[in-house]
Amino acid sequence: MYAIVDIAGQQFKVEKDQKIFVNRLNIEAGKTINFDKVLLLDNNGKVDVGQPIVKGVSIVAKVLDHIKGDKVIVFKKKRRKGYKVKNGFRASLTSIEIKKIELNSTKKTVKVSSETKSAVKKPAVKKPVAKKPAVKKPVAKKPAVKKPVAKKPVAKKPVAKKPAVKKPVAKKS
């Protein structure tokens, strides 16, 4: 028997007497905790899939210890820029042991008669909404566009070149 359960925003596949690490929980070590968000339950081949959770099923777990995970190195670099940053962190984790998967017999099966099925399947008929007639706005007149006046070409002046001046080279003795 196993179940898929949502613990602190993450999904885990759990079985009886299994030890797992989850994100830090605010519960003291040695205490028990119940998880009610069971998404799937496999009971010896009979699979119950929740919509979104399976009702009447809970997971009982015991908090063993609060620990820190392995160090993760975060290294950033931009080549040819001289930019290097090295950071690291250790995740805070809680070690828990699954004690049992409880199946409560409070499952209520609702029988639906054929009369209610037909009433449920038919969608409600919507009344058409009356559309308002479109109101045309008056179009504003645009001012007349003036044509640019053609400019006369300007004659280019010749550029006088400066004579090159040579500097005397000092001799090494």
Q: List the chain domain ranges.
A: 2-66+95-104
The pTM of this model reads 0.55
Of residues 169 and 74, more confidently modeled = 74
pLDDT digits (tens, 9 = 90+) for 138-167: 777 777 777 777 777 777 777 777 777 777
Pairing, β 32-35 against β 38-43: unpaired
- Residue range 78-96: mean pLDDT, rounded: 96
Given a cut of 50, whether residue 110 has pLDDT beyond it is no
DSSP 3-state of 156:
coil
Count CA atoms within 13 Å of residue 73 on its CB side: 4
Distance CA 7, CA 4 (A): 10
DSSP 3-state of 120:
helix
